[in-house]
A and B are shown apart, each in its own frame.
Chain A
């Protein structure tokens, strides 16, 4: 929920609550005041009656009964009552004063009623006023408040949008807007400082990775040459040769991983900046030719459907790496007698291959060291290199699985 919606909702619900209490209170207060007024009127009438006792009484709505009731003192009771009007067959509301006066061992009861009809209308009008004006008032207040909050929050939204686009690999600064609101200004200061710190740390980390990888090259070279020397010896047993071969293989894996990490570091450092016009139709054919023995070995059927010529200005060796990694992926994760389908359009390359149905999350496909347990040989770094190359060369890549078909789409 947006902050604006949330505060708006809070404001509205609180308003409704207090407005109800207020209106209710107002209603009862008016009722009380009106009743008091009627009561006073009734008492006035009663005084008149007592003054003109025995004389004719002009009020039609006065009853005087004599009750056989012994009471000690005067009794008042004000009540609201409804009386059925026989002419209009409606019930009408009246305020009633019952007044008992002791007289010897009898009591005289005065009942005075007065119609409240005109005042009911008043109360209703008042209540209406109490309802409508506050609603209007709250509505205007809400709209003004909303507009002002929105204006004040614009800096905040700008910050959020810029943070969303934040990429530790990008060189540009965050450059957040300045605000006259202290809290947002503080927030932006914190973010700006954080941006600087993160990027510095990231650069340092990249340098560290790069340096470490480079420093590993020479020891790996020594291990390599020494193992090679060892395996050339004449008097080795089969077991010994196999052991050395495992060592060579492992060292090789180590140096391949190391090389891949150096390569990724170089990608991050934008080493491959020199761009030429790359003909992807031709490049794909070269790569298919390269991988032909492998494709034959896996008995795969390759279909290339070139609907258009695709050219892009990018680094040639990156283009080769990109296509080769994708093709090798399509070969490796294929099935016997399967297929690889390549479709080239003016802006798009689609590489799809048959394979087993697997439950992996598409987003995780491009992560580093994401391996398929069926292929322990793979380093799990090929697709992550593909992704990095795409990021750098502004190619959007997506993966989807349709049944047993795995599809990679490259949008240029």
Chain B
């Protein structure tokens, strides 16, 4: 996949680039609006876009991409988190909106979900050993037997698989789970009990225990 990162903060741009490259994608970086608008013509699959650019508003890029009928997904990554900003961005056609500061795992999960939506219309199946997930239908099968999960547990499982083999901190998981509401602190216990329930259900259904504790700091979804 070809991904463009538009971010004027070099350290952040570098981290995102490094991460995307490590996931096996092709990544380019634009540090200002002018070069972003120029690069957009190269038909990227996804653009990760900062709004506050030194020479203008990143929404110009959204206008150009969505106006030009390109098959390009756009994830806005901004320090502005007011509802108006979000609505404005999404109305222009952006596919997702992530507020800084963000967790890399969260960006990864959103990226994968976006790719599924854009390229597979949500029908793609995620397969991991005996697990088979159809995100569009909220369906989980273990060895072809459907498993009943709550929406939160399902969401958690998709998040884990999107970030397989990565250390996920409790902090990052909490942030992912509470994204629907304003949520301040106090999520550690909630995460713990959700994960405990998910684990129980998976193991009971005959699935291997892929969710590993990492020294009490977080979890890792891995089969190694």
- Residues on A close to B: CB < 8 A? 214-215, 217-218, 220-226, 228-229, 231-232, 238, 241-242, 244-245, 248-249, 251-253, 255-256, 259-260, 262-263, 266, 271-272, 290-291, 293-294, 296-297, 317, 320-321, 324, 328, 332, 377-379, 381-382, 385
7 further A-B pairs in the complex, CB-CB below 8 A; given A228-B105, A228-B169, A245-B217: A218-B100, A224-B104, A245-B218, A248-B217, A251-B101, A297-B189, A317-B83
| For the complex of A and B, 10 pairs with smallest distance between CB atoms | A245-B217, A293-B193, A217-B79, A221-B101, A220-B101, A225-B15, A221-B100, A252-B171, A217-B100, A228-B104
Alpha-carbon distance between A238 and B181 when the two chains are bound, in angstroms: 34
Task: Report A-chain residues with C-beta under 8 Å of the C-beta of B11.
Answer: 222, 226
Per the bound structure, the CA–CA distance linking A317 and B218 in Å amounts to 29
* Structural contact, A377 and B188, CB atoms closer than 8 A: yes
30 contacts between A and B (CB under 8 A): A214-B79, A217-B79, A217-B81, A221-B9, A221-B79, A221-B100, A222-B11, A224-B102, A225-B12, A225-B15, A225-B16, A225-B104, A226-B11, A231-B169, A238-B215, A242-B216, A245-B169, A249-B171, A252-B171, A255-B101, A271-B84, A272-B83, A290-B181, A293-B190, A293-B193, A297-B193, A317-B182, A324-B183, A381-B184, A382-B186
Q: Which residues of A contact B147 (CB under 8 A)?
A: none
Which residues 160-214 in B have Cβ within 8 Å of A in the complex?
Answer: 166-167, 169-172, 175, 181-186, 188-190, 192-194, 197, 214
Docked-complex contact B197 and A218, CB < 8 angstroms: no
Closest chain B residue, CB of each to CB of A217: B79
* Residue from B105, B181, B215 in contact with A321 in the complex, judged by beta carbons closer than 8 Å: B181
Does B154 belong to the interface (CB within 8 Å)?
Answer: no
State A296–B99 Cα separation when bound (angstroms). Answer: 31
Residues of the B chain whose Cβ atoms lie less than 8 Å from the Cβ of A218: 9, 12, 79, 100-101
* Residues of chain B within 8 A of A324, CB atoms compared: 181-183
Report the separation of the CA atoms of residues A297 and B217 in the bound assembly, to the nearest whole angstrom.
20
Smallest distance from the beta carbon of A227 to chain B beta carbons, Å? 9
* Complex interface: chain B residues within 8 A of A259 (CB): 81, 184
B23 to chain A, nearest CB (A): 12
Q: Which of A215, A271, A378 contacts B82, CB < 8 Å? A: A271
Are the CB atoms of A217 and B185 closer together than 8 Å? Answer: no
In the assembled complex, the CB of B16 is this many whole angstroms from the nearest CB of chain A, namely 7
Q: Which residues of A contact B18 (CB under 8 A)?
A: 229
Q: How large is the interface on B (under 10, 10 to 19, 20 to 34, 35 or more residues)?
A: 35 or more
**Pick the contact of B184 from A215, A223, A260, A266 — CB < 8 Å?**
A260
Binary contact track B70-114/A, C-beta < 8 Å → 1, others 0? 000000000111111000000000000001111111000000000
Could you say which of B83, B167, B169, B193 contacts A294, with CB atoms under 8 Å apart? B193
Check B185–A253 contact: CB distance below 8 A: yes
Chain A residues with Cβ under 8 A from B101's Cβ? 217-218, 220-221, 223-224, 251, 255
Taking CB atoms, residues of chain B closer than 8 Å to A317 are 83, 181-182
Neighbouring B residues of A263 by C-beta, 8 Å: 182
Query: A266: which of B19, B82, B170, B214 is its contact (CB, 8 Å)?
Result: B82
Q: Which residues of B contact A296 (CB under 8 A)?
A: 193
Assembly CA distance A262 to B99 (angstroms): 13
Task: Specify which chain B residues have a CB less than 8 angstroms from the CB of A328 in the assembled complex.
Answer: 186
Q: How far is the CA of A232 from the CA of B99 in the complex (A)?
A: 22
Contacts of B214 in A (CB 8 A): 241
CA distance A218 to B183 in the complex (A): 20
CA of A272 to CA of B172, assembled, Å: 27
- CB neighbours (8 Å) of B185 from chain A are 253, 256, 377-379, 382
CA distance A222 to B31 in the complex (A): 15
Within 8 A of A (CB), among B52-86: 79-84
Shortest Cβ gap from A217 to chain B (Å): 4
- Please encode chain B, from 3 to 44, with 1 for each CB lying within 8 Å of some chain A CB and 0 for all others: 000000101100110110000000000000000000000000
Q: Are B215 and A294 in contact (CB under 8 A)?
A: no
Among A215, A225, A294, the most chain B Cβ lie within 10 Å of the Cβ of A225
Provide the residues of chain A in CB contact with B82, threshold 8 Å. Answer: 266, 271
Complex alpha-carbon distance, A53 and B104, angstroms: 139
Report the separation of the CA atoms of residues A291 and B169 in the bound assembly, to the nearest whole angstrom: 21
**Which of A232, A242, A253, A260 is the one whose CB lies under 8 Å from B166?**
A232
CB-CB < 8 A to A217: which residues of B?
79, 81, 99-101
Given contacts A222-B9, A248-B169, A271-B83, contact A228 B103 (CB under 8 A): yes
Most chain A CB within a 10 A radius of its CB, from B16, B152, B171, B190: B171
Contact A221 B12 (CB under 8 A): yes
- Cβ of A254 to closest chain B Cβ, rounded Å: 9
Which residues in A have their C-beta under 8 angstroms from that of B19? 225, 229
Q: Are B186 and A378 in contact (CB under 8 A)?
A: yes
The one of A232, A253, A291 that contacts B190, using a Cβ cutoff of 8 Å: A291
